[in-house]
Structure 1
Amino acid sequence: MEYILNFVIIAIEILCLKNFIEIFAEKNKKQYVCVLSIITLILGIYGIDCVLNDFVIAKIMCVVLCMSFWVKFINNMKLWRAVFMSASFMCILTLLDAIILTFFGNIFEAGAGMAENDVVGIYYKTLLTRMIMIALIMYIKRKFAVGGSEYLINEFEWLKYLYFPLMTIIIIVGMLVYCDDITLHNNVVLSIVSLLAVMNFIVFSLIENVVRREKQISESKLLQNDIKSKHEYYQYVSENYEIQRQEIHEFKNQIDCILEMLNHGEYAQTQTFLKNITENLDDRIDCIDTKNAIINAVLNQKYRTALKKEILMVFQLQNLSENQIKDTDIVTILSNLIDNAIETCEKCNGQKRIKVKIKFNDAKDTIISVKNSVPNGYKFDKNHIVTNKKNKRIHGCGIKNIINIVEKNEGHYNIECSDNEFCFSIIIPQIHSLTS
């Protein structure tokens, strides 16, 4: 029985190690390679435990060394860093064991039968330590993991996921303290407790898979949005190029016509003709010039779209030639915000108006604000934007992409809605704009 319990504890420790290391580094091996390497590591450490059971220091050193080589293999990490991470993990486990033995030892000894079977008591205490470790890893991984997805799952949802390991801890403590007949059913109790421990890892793994899949979907949508924005920009440039070619040809013909009229002394007709040309030229020239080609392309394109839909657009802009936000990010932000504003205004029966503000404050932080009219009965919640679209899963991806970009640049955003106006405001600090 003792050998089986030791094997279960070692397996749980290795699974804890795997999740602990993933807080600081992403694995670089395929799934089946990871599984095989974990099984090999468990068997290897179990062998070390059996052979060096009486040599504690040598056993710990060999275990840390095996863990270090495994971490280096899975994460392509430098050996010294792998050794440091493995040693840190063992130190944390040892510290938790010491806390459990010191502060809860007397309580556990009060459980009937514990003195008759020290192996079972030590197993429960060790298992309790590992469950506490799992709860800590889940919380830390949510907050600080490399490539983590904190924005995909809010605080309340993560607390619900922590419920399972916390309840397992309570069950183990309860059995240790209050189960009077624990020695008569050791095998049954041990099996239940061990299965609970394994279930924690299964649930944790399922949560990670769901979060990872949601992150991939979000990144895919962001990429699609970037591609769409770039396509629209290149289409806009291409259309402008074709228009310019046609206008050059027309301009040549118009100059020939003006020269001919001047040669015949038709000055009044020439003046009228030039006036008509000037008016037509004003209609063709881009109305918006921020001294930034990318922003100009987006704003002029959206402005023309709004005009076709009879939506009034008002701009508050300044010289944006020093804009430091990545082109793909600024295109995604402006395109999504204005597209959403246009779509909402189309549903309005009364005034249809969009206000766009882009400027720098005194600290050179970038401020972007888009306000738009909303239809009567427009539903809004700061935690969830209600949609009437048929595909509710896809809707809101644009807003999520904007939020992802803002948070990536450590900026801030604010969403407000009154009876007749919706406002999405963004501020991105200059220091993060420069390095994004």
Structure 2
Amino acid sequence: MLYSFLESFCIQFTFQLFISESIFLIDIPRKKHFVPRLVGFLIAQIFLGKLWETTLTVILPDSMLQYVCLYIGYALLTIIPISGSFDLELRELIFILAGGYATEHMTFALSKIILYLFHRQYTLYGSLPHLLITRYIIYVMGAMAVYFLIIRTKKKSGELGDSDFRIVVLAFIIMVFAIGFSVYWSYPEEYQGTRVGNIICPAYSFLCCALVLLMEYYVLRENSMKREQEMMEQLLKMSGTQQKSSKEAIDIINMKCHDLKHQMKALEKIENDSSRKEYLQEIREAVSIYDATYHTGCSALDYVLREKTLIFNERNIEFSCMVEGKMISYMSSADVYALMGNALDNALEHVLKEKEGERVIGLQIRHHYDMALIHLENRCSCAPEFKDGIPVTRKKDKTQHGFGVKSMIYIVQKYGGEVLITAKNGKFNLDILLPLYQKKK
């Protein structure tokens, strides 16, 4: 009974495609109630696949076009369980569809070549062990080989979201033509058992499908490098903003020093003790802004906090800070300065729009389970609009929209962290989760 059930062409091919596509779905977010959704959609795929096979048998009996349409239809039907169970975009779906079918077809072509070289026929019917090996186990092995040789080694080069839609569609078209060519030369009886039908044609299909996979991951790598280049350019722009902020802090210091010189001269001429005491108190308050010395355990963070505190005090901004800087001390100094400097500058830009007395910024860096949580909040009476999780700028120059936030996200992702930005209850919140105690990158 098991043999009869597994012998169904629809069951076999559904399994082969699902195994081949699953290696591309390992890191894709899953929808709620994943298991029942997946099982239900797989049953629907099998049912529709059988219906598609029956329909083609009636419409295109004994035709090469029947087999071409049959395989393409089976491939398209895998959209049902994938899109129904995983949270992904259209280009990601096409990427997985093309890559999964290419993996399945590579395994099929290679197994056909090997069986021919060992003088064994790739028969559709046989014993249960033969069925399990040639229709199931070998596809698991083929999928694992592709995963460890191609997918796993290329994973750091980019994500599916970086795939170029046009190139992915082109890869899918190449794959379809390879399958059509394979069907055209494999099914005629005159080519069965010959080198043309069992070596030349499968080898050609194997190379075409391998080209599809390499093309897809080449696009990922190129797009990832392009994204990194754009981020580096944005970081350079952000560095210019940081330099402007540093100049502002230095200007504040110079201005205060200039005022102190005149105050010291005026103090020498004051003879009344009560007036002298009042004047000294004013000088102490003026000097107190330089007492903002931080020892957080991260020297780069200390520098940023000292610099920003000068600006906050000058602008009458209330700044509360409770941080454990050693949690992020593993990050490079440049990344800490860019990340925290830009975050605090963004908070400063928001609170300056508020009335005096309502300009409040709070910063925390603390443990959150086994992660480091950076929480920055500031007063925000007018919540901004969001697009793709990033606040939309109100500035006239939209070309520079969100590059500072994107740069922060880039730095955080570089260390395997996550960024969440929200605006609610009159507050703008930036939450960053980072792994603890990594090596510098």
Instruction: Please name the residue that 1:40 is paired with.
Output: none
In the TM superposition, residue 345 of structure 1 has moved relative to its aligned partner by 4.0
- Classify the secondary structure of the residue corresponding to 2:416: coil
Amino acid at match of 1:279: E
- Sort the Cα spacing of 1:167 and 1:248 in 2 relative to 1 into closer, same or farther, 3 A: same
Matching residue within 280, 284, 288 for 1:281: 284
1:224 aligns to what?
237
In the TM superposition, what are the counterparts of 1:395-434 in structure 2 within 5 Å?
395-418=401-424, 420-432=426-438
Task: State the Cα RMSD in Å.
Answer: 5.1
Q: Does the CA-based 8 Å contact 1:303-1:313 persist in structure 2?
A: no
Q: Deviations over 1:314-342 (max 9, x none)?
A: 41325758862433222212222222233
Q: What is the SS of the residue equivalent to 1:387?
A: coil
Contact 1:107 1:177 in 2 (8 A): no
Could you say if the C-alpha distance between residues 96 and 224 of structure 1 is closer, same or farther in structure 2, counting changes exceeding 3 Å? farther
Identity of aligned residues (%): 14
- SS state at 1:316 partner: strand
Give CA-to-partner distance per residue, 1:271-292, whole Å, 9 cap, x none.
3222222124313422744236
| Distance verdict in 2 for CA 1:108–1:207, change over 3 Å | farther
Q: What is residue 253 of structure 1 aligned with on the other side?
A: 265
Other-structure match for 1:154: 161
- Where does 1:77-92 land on structure 2 (aligned, <5 Å)? none
Matches within 5 A, 1:112-123: none
Q: Quick one: distance in 1 between partners of 2:362 and 2:227?
A: 31
Per the alignment, do residues 211 and 138 of structure 1 end up closer, same or farther by CA in structure 2, a change over 3 Å counting?
Answer: farther
**2:329 matches 1:317:** no
**Which residue identity is paired with 2:367?**
N
Task: Tell me how far apart the structure 2 counterparts of residues 381 and 406 of structure 1 sit (CA, whole Å).
Answer: 19
Amino acid at match of 1:361: H
Quickly say closer, same or farther: Cα 1:380–1:107, change in 2 above 3 A. Answer: farther
Distance in 2 separating the partners of 1:284 and 1:330: 28
Secondary structure, in 3 states, of the residue corresponding to 1:423?
strand
Change (3 A) 1:137 1:252: same
Q: How does 1:26-425 map to 2 (within 5 A)?
A: 98-101=110-113, 139-140=151-152, 142-144=154-156, 148-150=157-159, 154=161, 157=163, 162-178=168-184, 208-230=221-243, 232-233=245-246, 235=247, 238-239=250-251, 242-243=254-255, 245-246=257-258, 249-250=261-262, 253=265, 256-257=268-269, 261=271, 269-286=272-289, 288-291=292-295, 294-295=300-301, 298-299=304-305, 301-303=307-309, 305=311, 312-318=317-323, 320=325, 324=329, 325-346=331-352, 353-361=359-367, 366-376=372-382, 378-381=384-387, 383-418=389-424, 420-425=426-431
Q: Secondary structure at the match of 2:378?
A: strand
How far the C-alpha of 1:165 sits from its partner, in A, is 2.9
Q: Give how far 1:297 is off.
A: 5.0
Give distance in 1, aligned partners of 2:263 and 2:369.
46
The one-character-per-residue Cα deviations of 1:173-197 (angstroms, maximum 9, x if unpaired) are: 23322578999xx9xx9xx999999
8 Å contact kept, 1:313–1:354: yes
Specify the code of the residue in structure 2 equivalent to 1:222: L
How big is the shift at 1:424?
1.0
Q: CA deviation at 1:217?
A: 1.8
Structure 1 distance, partners of 2:221, 2:343, is: 31
Per-residue displacement from partner, 1:113-165 (whole Å, max 9, x unpaired)?
xxxxxxxxxxxxxxxxxxx9999977446413xxx344xx627x478854543
Q: One-letter code of the match for 1:226?
A: S
Q: Mind listing any 5+ residue stretches in structure 1 that lack a counterpart?
A: 1-93, 110-131, 262-268
CA distance in 2, matches of 1:280, 1:252: 9
Instruction: Quote the Cα distance in structure 2 between the aligned partners of 1:309 and 1:242.
Output: 16
Equivalent AA in structure 1 for residue 229 of structure 2: Q
| Conserved? CA contact 2:168–2:216, under 8 Å | no
**How many residues get paired?**
303
Task: Tell me the SS of whatever aligns to 1:333.
Answer: helix
For 1:174 and 1:106, locate their aligned partners in 2 and report how far apart those are by CA, in whole Å: 22
Q: CA 1:101–1:348 in structure 2 vs 1: closer, same or farther (change >3 Å)?
A: farther
Distance 1:136 1:363, change over 3 A: closer
For structure 2, the residue ranges without an aligned partner over 5 or more in a row are: 1-105, 125-143, 191-195
CA deviation string 1:249-272 (max 9, x = no partner) = 4465356446xx3xxxxxxx2232
Q: Are the counterparts in 2 of residues 149 and 215 from structure 1 also a CA contact under 8 Å?
A: no
> Contact 1:415–1:423 at 8 Å: present in 2 too?
yes
* Secondary structure, aligned partner of 1:435: coil
195 and 342 in structure 1: CA distance in 2 versus 1, 3 angstrom threshold: same
* Further displaced range: 349-358 or 170-179: 349-358
Q: What letter matches 1:428 in structure 2?
A: L
- Distance in 2 (alpha carbons) for counterparts of 1:102 and 1:386: 57
Is the 1:290–1:321 Cα contact (8 Å) retained in structure 2? no
Structure 2 contact 384–423 (Cα < 8 Å) conserved: no
The aligned counterpart of 2:24 is none
**Structure 2 residue matching 1:428: 3-state secondary structure:** strand
Give the partner amino acid of 1:154: G
